Amino acid sequence: MSAGRSALLVASLVAPDDDDPAATSTGPEVTTSSDGGTTTTTTEALTDTDPTTGETTGPGAGCGDGVVQAPEVCDDGNAADGDGCNADCQPSGRVLWSITHAGGLKMVEEALACEVDANNSIYVIGRVGVGADDYDRWARKYAADGAELWTQTYAGGAMLEDQGRAIVVDAAETVYLAGFARSRCRATTWWSASTRPTAARCGRRSSSARRC
């Protein structure tokens, strides 16, 4: 290897001298090597462009473009809700949370009606078993995130079947409940009730038909 070629190779590895105007050039890099009677010159353009930040063309991927990309679960290309794929690219009707209620007596508990108010609070009414052939009316309010807010039960004096069958909530969050209670002389008492949002006060009306 010639001495001239070794000097060029070392110079390309040394940091440029700030006092040397030639060393601060930002133009193309030129490397010349000589081997006997043959001379080869190579020119390489210097660039500081990051290939990972280059400009792209076309719209970016996103919800509503008809292409499913994480974190999307679905993408039907429209902004309609309730058609199988909602506008947020999540399936329609998916479960947000789930809660079960099991009485400590291991008897029958049933939810027979429900209602949702303007704040997405959920009201459920039904019956809970408290003994052999003995059911109490049961009503509960859940917050939109599933947190329990209040619970009401009603036990008729005959210790038979009492159930809540319907529940309605108005704009003031007054709750209206309806159902029936049975007595031992084969009478059925239909009752209705209303309660304020805090469930602190409750009014009740009933009517019955007896066959004793």
Dist. CA 27–CA 16, nearest whole Å: 14
Q: Confidence class of residue 111 from pLDDT cuts 50, 70 and 90?
A: very high
**What does the pLDDT read at residue 52?**
45
User: Which pair of structure tokens corresponds to residue 47?
Assistant: 């660039």
CB atoms inside a 10 Å sphere around CB 153? 14
Give 140-192 pLDDT, tens digit per residue. Answer: 999 999 999 999 888 877 678 888 999 999 998 899 998 888 777 666 667 67
pTM: 0.56
pLDDT exceeds 80 at position 100: yes
Q: Confidence class of residue 57 from pLDDT cuts 50, 70 and 90?
A: very low
Question: In 3-state terms, what secondary structure has residue 29?
Answer: strand
Average pLDDT value for the chain: 72
**What does the pLDDT read at residue 44?**
52
